[in-house]
Chain A
Amino acid sequence: MNSILPFLLIVLLSFSLTFASEEDLAITEVLDSMSSKAYKNYGIKPPPKTTDYTFLRRVYLDIAGRIPTEAEVRSFVNSNQSNKRSLLIDHLLDSPSYVSNYYNKWADILRIRTTGRISQNGGNYHFSKWLKDALQSNMPYNDMVWEMVTSEGHPWENGATGFFFRDFGMPLDHMANTMQVFLGTQIACAQCHNHPYEKWTQKDFYELSAFTFGTKTGTNLFKDDYYKSLRNEMRKSSLNDKQKQVWNQTMRQLFDPLRYKVEETSSSLKLPSNYAYKDAKADSLVQAHVPFGEMPEITEKKTPAVAFAEWMTSTKNPRFSLMATNRVFSWMMGSGLIEPVDNIPPEDYESSMPELSKFLEEVFPLIDYDLKRLIRILANSELYNSQSHPKQMATKGKPFIPGKRSIRRMSAEQAWDSLMTILREDIDLVQPGPNRTELQYEAVLALVENYNPTQLVDQAVEFFDENKEIGDNKQKQGIRKIYFNLTKEFGVDINGIRKELKRRTKVESFPPNFIRASELPSPPQAGHFLETFGQSDRDLIENSNQSASIPQALELLNSSLINYRILHQSKLAKKWKSNLYDPDLMDSIFITLLSRIPTSKEMAYFNQMLPSIPNNSIFEDITSGIINSKTFLFIE
């Protein structure tokens, strides 16, 4: 296919003195001309434009990750500005909701776990913080990938290292995941044997893995000078063996975070001993080599990981931009032009709009891999603004069809964040409480920085002398407590977390865990709303799901979140509690839940339902009924 670039360059040049957002609108125009052409090719009528209401709900969910509040709906609908849709898109891209929403999407792709001991010590907290910062500052996509793939150091020094820790001790799987996530190339099969249907061989896989095989994810705690001398000091102390053992175990856990470090080593990769093909010998050393494109140079100054990152993010590697733009397209339009998004065949992939795929692939580097600009270009397009097709449902693996925009169920996070929006209008402003994982890291660092090993051992000796009779577990807790007390004067107060949470619960109208999904631990405990609605367990890439289940129905029908919180404590509930005869009530209910006013048919249906003397119950039942309908959970 010919490049679409020359035409594009003309477009860009003619707008070079204007703002990026105007430049983006010009690019959108090119995109629109392609969809018109596609309609002609497919022989279909262009679908009608959505109403403002439908657009509003859609764009809030897609960019802000939640439904709009009543005030947000009213202000948009009442605006007379002709370009109000574009203005709203810009506004949402600049809002904190943007970070929250796209964090959820990337956390699903990158499998960021913030619960469980290994995840906590292993830098996932810092990884999640790094990702939020990157989205907040709108770091260019190629830089984001570069920072992850070439990251080195401890988690607190560089949060991007979490990308490596996620596959702690599994360098081969790590390479398979990296290729899938950033190049849409699934070569995991070739880890054990030649790929059954594609051209990848086991040797290809090993040669590729050789780039990052030397990048180690953990170090031995005993290599750490501080920890080593701490243990030595203890050995010399007056405590008995049993006490020393208890203390050692406590220290091994406490200082565990120090173990996690991404480090370049010289360790080299060999083919497996059961290697069965004739192109190489079993157990032979593998030289790093790329399976397609130009081989990057590995020099003394340039580590293999850097060489790999150069190859992957190079503009000469068409897969890099193709993969990313197709993915963002699928976020905005419900499905990718090429599906599955992360399994694009090595050659001759099929796109439902080949010209558009190519166009986006070439545009992305020209707008400096700016994710917000890419989203803006797509959100302003005719494709985004057109009505969805009644028979079209977003399904993994089914590509986008021009003129047939699909409908989708809200993701677990969108559903949760939307219910939170109904409950508390300040949802974007509430901050999560103190984070134990973060404080634990800081405490360890504060101890290392401010206390010499002798001081810590002396404290322990004193503690054991005073607490000889209590059990092992009590002793372990006790030691942690006195060490955490030491860090208090450096501003790290772990022992105070519980108090702080109690304080918050008292002063705030909602529990501390009624915050945006992006700020909650993940995966959550069993039975949490997010789990019930299919949030990823973060075990596999993009493992979230939108399938129906019985517990979901039970949750929306019977949970206290709906029946106690929303039906009694939301702004909406307060409205009917203060005036049951408010003529605006039905409008408010519809706008708050469905981001639109009721149709005349709906108005008639609900009006005949209202008793002559209305009561709270009937409004509770109407609200619950609508939340339990598909019109709430599905996005047009």
Chain B
Amino acid sequence: MIESLKRADEISRRKFVGYLAKSCLGVGLASTIHPFQKIFAAQDIPYRPKARNVIYIYLSGGLSHIDSFDTKPGQEIQGPVESIKTSADDLMVSQYFPNLAKQMDKVAVVRSMFSNQGAHAPGTYYMHTSYPERGTIKHPGLGAWVSNIQGNTNSTLPGNIRINGGSNMPGCAGYLDSKHNPLFIGNPSKGLQNSKSPKAITEERLKNRIEIANWMDHNHHDKYDHKELKAYTEAYQSAVKLMSSEDLKAFDIDSEPPVMHELYGDSKFGKGCLLARRLIENDVRFVEIVHGGWDTHNDNFDRVEELSEPLDIGLSALLIDLERRGLLDQTLIAVGTEFGRSSKLNATGGRNHHPQAFSCLLAGGGIQGGQAYGKTDEYGANITENRVNVPDYNATIAYALGLPTDKVFYSPEGRPFQVAGSGQPLKVLF
């Protein structure tokens, strides 16, 4: 009974939106061409990309590869950290990832990552954009490229969303139009800011307010008829649509059953993963979840253990949940970080920055799980096999999505750029 009442309410809300969109704002919805149709019409790519969406987990601060996904059992530098077996043969991870160990058959570990940036800001910039930081141009992040090249699939929700991070982290729209900027969700439990009317404002009053705004605009419509102003009409239309859209529920993780909260864990990161899954389900193309604090210059082992727990729980929950929902094949999960950490411990039991060798993960979206690509030496200090530069890693993500990695795009000043810089995709991982 209550369920059906709720449903009726939902339908009347949706009718209401339709009414607002049509009558108040005067514009109907244009049908959109599916982004893949555009891509395949223009390009002939032999690999048929499976990934539609990306969940990009960014471990800011620099993940210690030695204590996570490139362990060195038996070496003194390994300290107290044990390696454990996983669901993939010959693939070991550290004891800090007991849950993920059971899902490693779905994950490819890239153990030969290489960056030429040894400080956080430029390293983070490089990881997000495939270009070294310059004072004169800002390069777009992958999410913005996806939005720019392939467009949105969901007509109500933005196509690029960043959870637990803001605009101060690079990899936003860069020089591209600001509409490709990620929408920032600072707190996954709170969802999208200002997406609901204050309690005192009934639907009737909201309608009235929008009618007034619309009348004022109409009154000046002949006076100011310009596309910039129309962009505002469209933004309001989308906002109002979003406010009463069923899709807005995508931001509400409270509506998940307790068992889901249990699966993803109680951490801010876990909640971010749960939110990301809901957004992906609603066809948001690119979701980034930031999980920071990995700059373990002090007490490395304690800190890595602390930070790994939510990562272990959240990431394995994503893998289990997406697979169960049949979404893993079309969702690429990437786990990146700006650099690794030194094998030698410093005086305070910490590990320092180490861009010469580190590990990143890829899973789902057509990636062959249960494999390790590239090798480092016995101390995890240098790459001994199959070096992967940062742009190559990003090119692999782009390739999984069917983005053209060798096509040149021009900035408004006429400078040439590519989606993943000079990166070459690691096709062997698929």
Contact = CB atoms under 8 A, between A and B. Distances in A.
Interface of A: 115-116, 118, 167, 170, 173-174, 176-177, 180, 186, 188-189, 191, 196-197, 241-242, 245, 249, 343, 390-393, 395, 397, 407, 409, 472, 523, 525-527, 531, 534, 537, 539-541, 543, 545-555, 557-560, 563-564, 601-602, 605, 609, 617, 621-622, 624-626, 628-631, 633-634
A118 B220 CA distance: 47
A180 B222 CA distance: 39
Contacts of A633: 232
Contact of B224 (A116, A170, A617, A634): A634
Contacts of B298: 249, 472
30 contacts: A115-B168, A186-B136, A188-B136, A196-B414, A249-B348, A343-B413, A390-B222, A391-B226, A392-B226, A472-B299, A537-B172, A539-B138, A548-B232, A549-B181, A550-B238, A550-B242, A551-B183, A553-B236, A554-B194, A557-B236, A563-B198, A563-B200, A605-B215, A609-B212, A625-B208, A625-B213, A626-B212, A629-B214, A629-B217, A630-B217
B193 interface: yes
A557 B412 CA distance: 33
Nearest to A628: B213
Contact of A550 (B158, B197, B198, B220): B158
A211 B177 CA distance: 36
Given A551-B183, A633-B232, A621 B217 contact: no
A631 B212 CA distance: 12
A555 B121 CA distance: 31
Contact of B217 (A197, A409, A555, A631): A631
B220 A551 contact: no
A189 B211 CA distance: 50
A409 B299 CA distance: 51
B193 A527 contact: yes
Contacts of A537: 167-168, 172
Nearest to A396: B412
Contacts of B167: 523, 526, 531, 537
B231 A548 contact: yes
A558 B412 contact: no
Contact of A631 (B179, B216, B231, B347): B216
B176 to A, nearest CB: 11
Given A188-B134, A617-B205, A633-B232, A549 B212 contact: no
Contacts of A617: 205
A625 B196 contact: no
Given A188-B134, A551-B194, A558-B198, A393 B228 contact: yes
- Which of A173, A241, A526 has the most chain B CB atoms closer than 10 A to its own CB? A526
B209 A116 contact: no
Nearest to B162: A526
Contacts of A191: 136
Contacts of A245: 347-348
B48 to A, nearest CB: 33
A189 B194 contact: no
Nearest to B158: A550
Contacts of B208: 621, 625
Contact of A557 (B226, B231, B239): B239
B325 to A, nearest CB: 27
Interface of B: 121, 134-138, 158, 165-168, 172, 177-179, 181, 183-184, 186, 192-198, 200-201, 205-206, 208-217, 219-220, 222-229, 231-232, 234-236, 238-240, 242-243, 298-299, 347-348, 412-415
A173 B232 contact: no
Contacts of B217: 629-631
Contact of B209 (A391, A541, A557, A602): A557
A553 B413 contact: no
Contacts, number: 184
Contacts of A551: 183, 193-194
A525 B184 CA distance: 11
A174 B197 CA distance: 46
A555 B194 CA distance: 6
Contact of B193 (A167, A392, A554, A601): A554
A523 B184 CA distance: 14
B155 to A, nearest CB: 12
A178 to B, nearest CB: 10
Nearest to B192: A554
B174 to A, nearest CB: 9
Given A557-B194, A560-B198, A633-B232, A391 B225 contact: yes
B210 A625 contact: yes
Nearest to A605: B215
Contacts of B219: 601-602
A118 B122 CA distance: 13
A626 B211 CA distance: 10
A553 B134 contact: no
Contacts of B235: 548-550, 552-553
A628 B177 CA distance: 23
- Closest 5 pairs (CB-CB, A-B): A625-B212, A526-B166, A173-B135, A553-B239, A188-B136
Given A554-B243, A622-B212, A625-B208, A547 B179 contact: yes
A514 to B, nearest CB: 18
Contact of A634 (B121, B198, B229): B229
Contact of A397 (B158, B177, B198, B412): B412
B272 to A, nearest CB: 14
A450 B229 CA distance: 60
A630 to B, nearest CB: 5
Given A527-B166, A553-B240, A630-B217, 17 more contacts: A173-B134, A189-B415, A191-B136, A249-B298, A390-B222, A534-B178, A540-B137, A547-B178, A554-B239, A554-B243, A555-B194, A557-B206, A558-B201, A560-B198, A601-B219, A630-B232, A634-B224
Contacts of B214: 629
Nearest to B184: A526
Given A547-B177, A547-B178, A548-B232, A629 B413 contact: no
Contacts of A343: 413
Contact of B201 (A241, A547, A563): A563
B178 A170 contact: no
A148 to B, nearest CB: 16
A177 B181 CA distance: 24
Given A390-B223, A621-B212, A553 B348 contact: no
A548 B212 CA distance: 20
B196 A188 contact: no
B228 A188 contact: no
Contacts of B186: 525-527
Given A173-B134, A549-B178, A624 B194 contact: no
Contacts of B222: 390
B8 to A, nearest CB: 24
A628 B225 contact: no
Given A116-B168, A526-B186, A634-B229, A564 B239 contact: no
Contacts of B211: 625
A410 B57 CA distance: 36
Nearest to B236: A553
Contacts of A390: 222-225
A584 B271 CA distance: 52
Contacts of A526: 165-168, 184, 186
Given A116-B168, A534-B178, A621 B195 contact: no
B201 A177 contact: no
Given A391-B225, A549-B179, A551-B194, A177 B239 contact: no
A400 to B, nearest CB: 16
A554 B178 CA distance: 17
Contacts of B243: 554, 557-558
Nearest to B121: A118
Contacts of B228: 393, 395, 409, 546, 548
A494 B33 CA distance: 58
Contacts of B242: 550, 554
Contact of A630 (B166, B212, B220): B220
